[in-house]
Amino acid sequence: MTSNHASGSHHGFLSFSACEPQRPKCALRLTSRFLKPARCFRAFFKWMMSEEMIAKNPVLAVKPIKIRKELRMPFSQMEIDILQISCSSVKMRTMLELFLSSGARVNEISCLDVMDLDLEKRVIHIREGKGNKERIAYISDVAAYYLREYLQGRTERNTPLFFGNPGKRMKANGIEKAMKQLGKRAGVENVHPHRFRRTLATTLARRGGMPVQQIQQILGHANISVTMRYIYTADSDIESAYNKCI
């Protein structure tokens, strides 16, 4: 194979890979670490066959790797209580309460402006949701209270809700870092913004009995099957529901 052909083939593979349908990221760390190279090999040999460079795809003989699923647990009420009392500022508590009650993604929280809040109705307008979709998210009385405290003295509404340094909109990675630091200070493990979404979904389903279709709308999921994966159901809940029906 000449260098020019090799170069052209290389670019051809990159183009082919870009067109390959990508599976959604799995919730398992082991999958991301060990199975991602396997997907690359499959795509590479599939491309080689499409270019008629090989007659048989050797990866087809490799059996899929099965990994035991790891449950992604929501926060317990005790962990939430500890996080709340560990907040070192009104800003941190406001951020925490928004995550706990709105189900918003970290990027959505970062993009919020003051004008997106309606504290009287206890709603926030998410204008830059995933897939550029807008939606309404609801907040608790506690979140509304801390938002009022945090916004005292702020007169301009067309400004970012959360500022970072120096005086610019707080980026998503800055918010993630703040939550991680809060977890470290509180002694609570695995504190990250996405876990709050799982916690809210589980709380709405278990305590409020909210239909999964409504939880889907609150979280902004396009596919209800994704919402189902967010809701943690304990064995005791299943047993209780079973006993009520028998």
Catalytic residues: 105, 130, 194, 197, 221, 230
Name the residue among 73, 100, 72 with its Cα closest to residue 87. Answer: 100
* CB of 139 closer than 8 Å to CB of 122: yes
At 193, give phi and psi (nearest 5°): -55, -35
Distance from C-alpha of 196 to C-alpha of 199, rounded to nearest angstrom = 5
Provide the greatest CA pair distance for the chain.
73
Distance from C-alpha of 97 to C-alpha of 103, rounded to nearest angstrom = 10
**CB-CB neighbours of 99 under 10 Å:** 26
Distance from C-alpha of 68 to C-alpha of 163, rounded to nearest angstrom = 41
* CB of 83 closer than 8 Å to CB of 182: yes
**CB-CB neighbours of 199 under 10 Å:** 22
Beta bridge partners of 123: 118, 138
